[in-house]
Structure 1
Amino acid sequence: MSAMRNVNWDRRTVLRAAMGMAAAGGLAACGGNTGRSSGSGDSLVQYFHAYGEAGTEQAIKRYAKAYKDANITTQWITGNNFEQKLFAALLTKNAPDVFEFHPQIQLIKSGQVADLTDIIEPVKSDFNQADITSHTVDGKIYGVRMIDDPQFFFYRPSVFEKAKIEVPQTLEELIEAADKLTTSKVKGAFLGNDITTVQNPLIWSAGADTLTADNKPAFNTDAVAEGLTQLRGLFTSGNLLLDSPTDWWDPSAFTQGLTAIQWCGMWAMPAMIEALGDDIGVFPFPKVGSAGKQSVTNGGWSMFVNAKSENLEAAKAYVKWLWIDQKKYQEDWALSYGFHIPPRTSIAQSATKLKTGLPAEGVKLFNEFGHFDNIGWTQAMIAAVNDVMANSVRKNADPKAQLATAEKKVDAELKKLFG
């Protein structure tokens, strides 16, 4: 597979929601292509962000074309603000009928996404149950998981061996490894151009969490503050790649030798293997502080139905057809372009591409250290912690004060959502 291309937005670190942004400017440039140009039935519009793996856009349009009961138009949205474009469009009469996103409770509370329990219930037991949980509110399931995307650090065992470096188990060891591996041409580590992609793993690896089980802020701890201080040290050390031509979700910085260690996702494995053969390993975000535990982000994407669509039943029928009934397309989507873990247990169990070598190692880390989406952790909360990263790691503000400010913002959001 060729290297990822044509995407210049950070796929997993979500941006601020722009619920009030006018849609017109953002959507004029989106590439719209119909799945089918003629036929009977309803017309539906689906939104996808532009995946980096070659062949993905063609695949989604191919699936849409095979559907006979409606005309499907695909908006394949490039640029670095998919969330803003999506949220803006949802406020207009040009809103998509079907769209991909992550489970977030404000979409349910505002009546934006349809209850899909009736289409998922018959196959519920064949889904990864953590995915079902992350899409469930008050016993109802909103959204169908399409792919699970574990993220971890990639490295080259031969390079570690030559430098006499063991795989880092703690954040201190990661910082030491980055120092040893930095040369005039290669930086020791790459955590993404704005570093926000590691904010959740930093919290989890410090033994904390984004929210408690009863939806209270859980990230403002001394261990998280200490982790931020350590990251600030790494940021100023000169050992971190800070201005990569491609961001963390693209493997180019690693495959082209700009960095010795890169945070990235399982989706990039085929491109990495093509470039570097089997001299690649993965390890979780290391332990932060004495009470911490290694962690892996389980990102991914889910398909939602716009509850305000004029073609609500037709939209649900299409989502059921593609993401529940068509296992061959679900398998193709998960395994033929990048590598993703199929959320359907039966497909994951038969996925031979994930059974050996690097992908098998990724699946093992996913199962052992993975943290799934928390539906209560919303766009505004993500933005509050993005600010903590920007101010304490990039600008040297006091981490404890930054965490306290973020906690207030998150608490205010939670009160709005949960009372």
Structure 2
Amino acid sequence: MQFSDFGLDSKIMSTVEHLGFSEPTEIQQQAIPAAMTGHDLIASSKTGSGKTLAFIIPAMQRLSKNRALSKRDPRVLILTPTRELAKQVFTQLRMFTSGSAFKAVLILGGENFNDQVKVLEKDPHFIVATPGRLADHLSQGHFYLSGLELLILDEADRMLDLGFAEQLAQINKAADHRKRQTLLFSATLDHAQVNDFALALLKKPKRIAIGSAHTEHKDITKRFYLCDNLSHKEKLLAHFIATEVHQQMIIFTATRADTDRLSTLLTQQGLSTVALSGELNQGQRNQIMDGFSKGQQKILITTDLASRGLDLINVSHVINFDMPKHTEEFVHRIGRTGRAGSTGDAISFVGPKDWISFKNVEGFLQQKLSFDTVDGLKAKFKGIKPKKPKVESKLKDNNKSVVIAKTPKSKKNVKNTFLAQDAGDLPVLKRKQIVAPQDIENTDVDEVD
């Protein structure tokens, strides 16, 4: 299938060709036709699969072919969980709106509120935004969504995980009319809250699942290394920076403090390094990401802030200095490399504090992961063995062992409190006669709950 098979408007097709696209990705092949026919959509695909164009192209097609429902209200609203992802989506959208009659604006938290009010007063056709800041403007009546034609939720699972459910419900209510179309994209369709949310927002949606949330790019090589402590991790990091042939590298840490500390350490070693963390204001974050995307620095050190949405084609290596707290972030982190058909390397350090996260990632990917070693930097740490469950315990009395058998729990979910049960459900218990210890022979004693 080719993009020309979709029957796109000539201006849209011209932009697609100018960007060098000819054959759509799998998510684009399925999502674009479904969205162009007006269906609500709930779709999942792995990171880097091209889903941004999967909703931008049908949005542009709809505005090009259909009359607006309102002269003043925005026609398309695209919501993303983070400012970085919103900016990435906005950049791709501007490639299509440039030279057209359609205006697009970017509304982010952390930027000047009054400036955004002025932008919204110009009646844009497209709004790309983060939910929190957009809900603030909506509450104060700076714009209305009565004429909204297309609501797009990008990485809905992440928005819900970040606690934006209330703001999303507010936005949905403000644009709740029968002519609105909704496209929901999520990393996984197994997210219970996403499914519940989809039932409330979408009308008879088509479901599309490309690949699995448990799989990542085949062009990414994964390597794992056991570590004894922080110093050991730093020695391994220095080894890979010195020996791996890389273009640009992203190093993920668990905390902002680690991000700043590592950045200072590598800068002192003469390496071209920059740090990104949530405590920076939006202008500083934009400046850092713009500089890194232009190749001004070779190494970016960050928390999970940069794990999603950033399309940096020169990143050849991702290093997980710390394993992620949220298991699904592993796939998004390593998805920052191996983009646009290039190969990538993902290296992960696993110390005692990372072990549980590592085992969770192993279960999430549904595969047994092995460890590599570096000569001279082998770890003494070999992993943590799971504790064996206790089957039975013994009570010693007068040098005699009395086995206390565990009473099997009832299959019924009955709470062991009187007030939590109906009186009719309680068993009738007979009072047992008290037996003196010396009268007890080799008899098993049942444990009474």
Task: Verify same fold: TM over 0.5.
Answer: no
Greater Rg by CA: 2
Quick check: which one's helix share is greater? 1
* Structure of greater relative contact order (alpha carbons < 8 Å, 6+ residues apart): 1
* TM-score, scaled relative to structure 1: 0.32
